[in-house]
Structure 1
Amino acid sequence: MGSNCKQIFWELWSFMDIFVILFIPILCLPLIIAVPTSESYCGYVLLVMALYWVFECMPISVTSLIPLALFPVFGIMDGGATASMYFKDTSALLLGGIMMAIAIENWNLHRRIALGVLMISGTKPRWLLLGFMLVTWFLSMWISNSATTSMMLPIAQAVLVRLSEIKEENKEKLRELESHHIDIDLSDEDNGAVAYVVDNGTMDTKPGNDSLHKDVTVTENRNEVKETDNADDFSISEEYKLMGKALMLAICYSSSIGGTCTLIGTPPNLILLGQLDDRYPDHPLNFLSWFVFSFPSSLVFIFLAWLWLLATFLELNPCRESGCRSCSCSCETSEEETIIKNVLKNEYEKLGAWSWAELSVLTMFVALCLFWISRDIGGYGWCMLFPEDYITDATPAIFMSIVLFCFPSEFPNFYFLRTKEDSPPSKPRTSLLNWQVVNKKMPWSLFLLLGGGFALAEGMEMSGLSQWIGDLLTALDGLSDWVIVLICGAVACFFTEITSNTAVATILIPILISLAETTCINPLYITVPCTILVSYAFMLPVATAPNAMVFSNGLLTIPDMALTGFFLSVFGIIWITFWVNSWGNLFEDIDTYPEWAMLDNTTCVDSAI
């Protein structure tokens, strides 16, 4: 009977996602039955999507399609207007950025950059940790956080495994010596000879000065080396376990922090850009302005995270064993540092010499960054050569993506460009990028997620739900602006621990814009720091893909990640709040309600510039 009940329970549990999918809309039905208004209809859709995203009962990209089905039914937006939200200028910017990232990954340029920097960053644990963090941080500005983490993890694991292997080899040598009992006779004081009596009865003499007689037994270090195994066969010795934990957390933390530096670094940044485009056509946010604001903040926070990891796991931790080599501040090169250097050197040598494709992709990547930065610099830039407002950051991104599909991946080999005498190739030369690679690596679901967010935000505006929510938040008007930012940032930072940061940004940013308009706060003052903090998900493996990837190798535990990440999240909230109130005031006058945000909001006219 018990086994039957257990079988029935697990059978029902296997349908749990379906039960949740059916139960949530029914649970929310009283909202539209009791208050049959446009605002409540949009609120119903918002609530259903938010719960689906939290419980992940269906793929988040599929959840993003709900507005296409329900907005026309509820009369919030017609089907054509809703569908037009699913691919906008922001989506084109994301498409171009991802294509460039795919080209970088396809030709292993990111791995060459990573290993090259690590080879010169220093091999002492503290500098190695910083090197891993800076490389991961930089790469995640341009390619996805998941791709960056998946590339850096094998490098870190190779270093840790090799250190453990050397440790185990030394352990075996000491075991061999342990079997030999050595008797040292130092009684012959006159001639200063030392007699070594070994097990087999033979004797050897060596000069010495001691007059004592001792029996010495050579034994190995009794501190046993424990290994941590998992399904991936990733095991390291106990001596390097704390160093391994620090490296794992450094990689996932740095990928999340680095993604906040650029508009294309992580989807929440683009969600903010898209929703500002819809609401405020003349807003000043673009690739350069975001970079100028966020890059210095992110760079400082990377060093804060590095110091926190040192204090938690490595040399700044007062609880660490004083004799641990990992904590040594000596300038001498230890055996472990030599091993690390050799591992990195061997990994770099496997890449071979720079290829034509790598140099070409690097050149185009640098050119794209320069295009983005110089497009609009305080009203000046190359976009002034074209009709006003026709050129956006998506334009150079798509242009360079097209060039990647046309540019050859091998050096031309004809006439004066010929590098060697050979027969012409029997098939056409391949380009730097082809559709098979793009189709395989492109995260198409991300575009549906962004589109669903844009549609939801537009629906909230059209239905009046945004205004209704803003009116409810007028209770915060009595608080100081910086307190409002601190509270909203804390909500964004900790809410993203339980669901996708993209989903959190999709739900939260329209509400924050409504709050800014209601309380007459500069929309950038409240939305930019909260958008950054949405990416600061450091506590749980389910928070982000990088967290899950480093947790899966079995080296970290939930308490390791939760405790370390909690304090780092608190540091992040405090730091970003300070940054927006210091550098934000210098970069953009956030104390006043800007003219570009006025539109039909006449209540804030006294606060406008």
Structure 2
Amino acid sequence: MPSATLVRRLGLPLAALALVVPLLVDVPGLDEPGERMLGIFLMAIVLFVTEAIPLVATAVVIILLEVLTLSEQALVPLGEPATSARDVWASLADPVIILFLGGFLIADGAAKYALDRNLAALILTPFKGSARSALLALMLMTAVLSMFMSNTATTATMFAVLLPVLSSLPTLAARTGFALAVPLAANVGGIGTPVGSPPNALALAALIQRDERVSFVEWMMAAVPLALLLLVVGWLFLSWRYVPGRTALDLDLQVKFKRTPPALVFYATAALTVLLWLSEPLHGIPSTTVGFLPVVVLLATQVMTGDDLRALQWPVLWLVAGGIALGNGVGASGLDEWLVGLVDWGVLPGALLLLTLAGLAWGLSNVISNSATANLLIPIALPLALTVDQDLVTVALVVALSCSLAMMLPISTPPNAIAYATGTVQTPQMVVTGLVVGVLGVLLAVLVMPLWWRVLGIG
């Protein structure tokens, strides 16, 4: 068994200290549920960053600690529970988990029936001689899909195509670059339309409540240029860091689709699922509900079996559940309001307020869900904008985009968790890539994009 690094050896005692200190020290302005959740929150950050224990272990520790400290089953009872044990356990069956389940089953079915290799052959045929060109094509395709369907569904679908490509690349570095490219492109592409990411929809809803409206096309005009710029920057960075210029793709590009009845049923089911994901704005069926369709159809028709189901990436599902539980606990305990209240926003100049809100949105979204962060900050950011004479639309756009650009950790977004599950990406590599693209994106959203929005007459 390999020896632990110094960081990992220090991780456990630091995490224990982070968990206990808020329980022993009276935190000004924070009541008991918030203090308990602050300890869990700080512990989770330490464990996720140091990986002193596996990430999935941290996720399940979070869930158990919330049950034992915040619910009616708390070992030391609260006067009034911050949440219920049922709600905490429900994170293990959150709709996002169901979406993951369907995506993973499609991905495994694509491998079982060789659909992934055939799709890869069709997509990458023009780029057989250049891995860098193939990387750019892959990122653009992922980003476009992510503008109109769930980032998670896009990533799960694209990894079904990417897995045979990973195995064909000559170096581990090149495989890492390709694996990082998909979640990066999915996260960045999600900012491009109102339906591309939950923070976008939350921002639009908050604006409508204040009689400010941004149309679908206006949102795209505002956000797509930023998305394209970040995609190019991400591609250049990944190419420079992981994919040498002369790297070639050694693929068997012969297309041989299976035509057995089970294979045909799988093709039809997978195509219908992806079509429903793509057309969600038309029919209104949530992507999470659509994600359960292939589970039912493929198991009922015995195209996929119980053995296939057992082979899915269950640790990733539990990892995502831990992130959901962490975000819910922060909100239920009142820790979210306390964190925002640490700064007297009213005394900040307008530009500094915008930069602070963007930084806070980006920072929190790296450790809790983007949706939870947007739910927390957008209702607070818009009233703050009025107090310092900032434009409401500009503030809403900046906060929403900053939430979606948080992609430093496997826990930051479901696409990151899927990439981490391939085994070709380590947390430090994801941190560096997330810093390069995320920080640049936040700075552009705060300092440059408002000028473009004013030219367009938005905000």
Q: TM-score, normalised by structure 2?
A: 0.66
- C-alpha distance in 2 between matches for 1:120 and 1:150: 18
Secondary structure in structure 1 of the residue aligned to 2:341: helix
> Match for 2:169: what amino acid?
A
Q: Which residue of 1 aligns with 2:406?
A: 534
Q: In the alignment, does 2:61 pair up with 1:55?
A: no
Equivalent position to 1:256, from 167, 176, 183: 183
Secondary structure in structure 1 of the residue aligned to 2:253: helix
> Match for 1:255: what amino acid?
V
Give the alignment of 1:283-322 within 5 angstroms.
298=227, 301-307=230-236
Equivalent position to 1:77, from 78, 83, 106: 83
The answer to whether the Cα contact below 8 Å between 2:116 and 2:162 also exists between their aligned partners in 1 is no
Deviation at residue 491 of structure 1 after TM alignment = 6.4
Deviation at residue 571 of structure 1 after TM alignment = 4.2
Q: In the alignment, does 2:337 pair up with 1:467?
A: yes
The answer to whether the Cα contact below 8 Å between 1:20 and 1:57 also exists between their aligned partners in 2 is no
Q: In the alignment, does 2:384 pair up with 1:512?
A: no
> Match for 2:273: what amino acid?
L
The answer to whether the Cα contact below 8 Å between 2:166 and 2:175 also exists between their aligned partners in 1 is yes
Q: Which residue of 2 aligns with 1:440?
A: 311
Q: Which residue of 2 aligns with 1:31?
A: 25
> Match for 2:401: what amino acid?
P
Equivalent position to 1:392, from 253, 265, 286: 286
The answer to whether the Cα contact below 8 Å between 2:200 and 2:401 also exists between their aligned partners in 1 is no
> Match for 2:134: what amino acid?
G
- C-alpha distance in 2 between matches for 1:469 and 1:80: 26
The verdict on how the C-alpha distance between 1:30 and 1:507 changes in structure 2, with shifts beyond 3 A counting, is farther
Deviation at residue 71 of structure 1 after TM alignment = 0.7
- C-alpha distance in 1 between matches for 2:44 and 2:361: 17
Q: In the alignment, does 2:122 pair up with 1:110?
A: no
The answer to whether the Cα contact below 8 Å between 2:198 and 2:370 also exists between their aligned partners in 1 is yes
Give the alignment of 1:178-217 within 5 angstroms.
none
Equivalent position to 1:155, from 143, 146, 168: 168
The verdict on how the C-alpha distance between 1:437 and 1:568 changes in structure 2, with shifts beyond 3 A counting, is same
Q: Which residue of 2 aligns with 1:607?
A: none
The verdict on how the C-alpha distance between 1:15 and 1:562 changes in structure 2, with shifts beyond 3 A counting, is closer
Deviation at residue 31 of structure 1 after TM alignment = 3.4
The verdict on how the C-alpha distance between 1:510 and 1:29 changes in structure 2, with shifts beyond 3 A counting, is farther
Deviation at residue 308 of structure 1 after TM alignment = 5.2
Give the alignment of 1:66-145 within 5 angstroms.
66-72=65-71, 73=74, 74=78, 75-121=81-127, 123=129, 125=130, 128-135=131-138, 138=141, 141-143=154-156
Secondary structure in structure 1 of the residue aligned to 2:169: helix
The verdict on how the C-alpha distance between 1:398 and 1:561 changes in structure 2, with shifts beyond 3 A counting, is closer
* Length, aligned pairs only: 411
The verdict on how the C-alpha distance between 1:100 and 1:562 changes in structure 2, with shifts beyond 3 A counting, is closer
- C-alpha distance in 2 between matches for 1:130 and 1:476: 48
The verdict on how the C-alpha distance between 1:582 and 1:259 changes in structure 2, with shifts beyond 3 A counting, is farther
The verdict on how the C-alpha distance between 1:17 and 1:478 changes in structure 2, with shifts beyond 3 A counting, is closer
- C-alpha distance in 2 between matches for 1:353 and 1:32: 65
What is the RMSD of the two structures over their aligned residues, measured on CA atoms?
5.3
The verdict on how the C-alpha distance between 1:455 and 1:565 changes in structure 2, with shifts beyond 3 A counting, is closer
Q: TM-score, normalised by structure 1?
A: 0.52
- C-alpha distance in 2 between matches for 1:54 and 1:527: 24
The verdict on how the C-alpha distance between 1:578 and 1:399 changes in structure 2, with shifts beyond 3 A counting, is farther
Deviation at residue 24 of structure 1 after TM alignment = 3.2
- C-alpha distance in 1 between matches for 2:292 and 2:418: 27
- C-alpha distance in 1 between matches for 2:432 and 2:18: 33
The verdict on how the C-alpha distance between 1:108 and 1:55 changes in structure 2, with shifts beyond 3 A counting, is same
Deviation at residue 529 of structure 1 after TM alignment = 1.7
Deviation at residue 402 of structure 1 after TM alignment = 1.4
Deviation at residue 62 of structure 1 after TM alignment = 1.8
The answer to whether the Cα contact below 8 Å between 2:15 and 2:47 also exists between their aligned partners in 1 is yes
The answer to whether the Cα contact below 8 Å between 1:536 and 1:572 also exists between their aligned partners in 2 is no
- C-alpha distance in 2 between matches for 1:586 and 1:401: 47
For structure 1, the residue ranges without an aligned partner over 5 or more in a row are 1-8, 161-233, 235-244, 264-268, 316-325, 328-335, 384-390, 408-429, 553-557, 592-609
- C-alpha distance in 2 between matches for 1:372 and 1:436: 26
> Match for 1:132: what amino acid?
L
What whole-Å deviation, never above 9, does each CA across 1:10-33 have from its counterpart, x for those lacking one? 9x9997665445433333333347
Deviation at residue 98 of structure 1 after TM alignment = 3.2
The answer to whether the Cα contact below 8 Å between 1:470 and 1:514 also exists between their aligned partners in 2 is no
Give the alignment of 1:470-549 within 5 angstroms.
470-475=340-345, 478-480=348-350, 484=353, 486-487=355-356, 489=358, 501=366, 503=368, 505=370, 508-509=373-374, 511-513=376-378, 515-516=380-381, 519-520=384-385, 525-535=397-407
Deviation at residue 129 of structure 1 after TM alignment = 1.1
The answer to whether the Cα contact below 8 Å between 1:248 and 1:550 also exists between their aligned partners in 2 is yes
**Structure with more helix by fraction:** 2
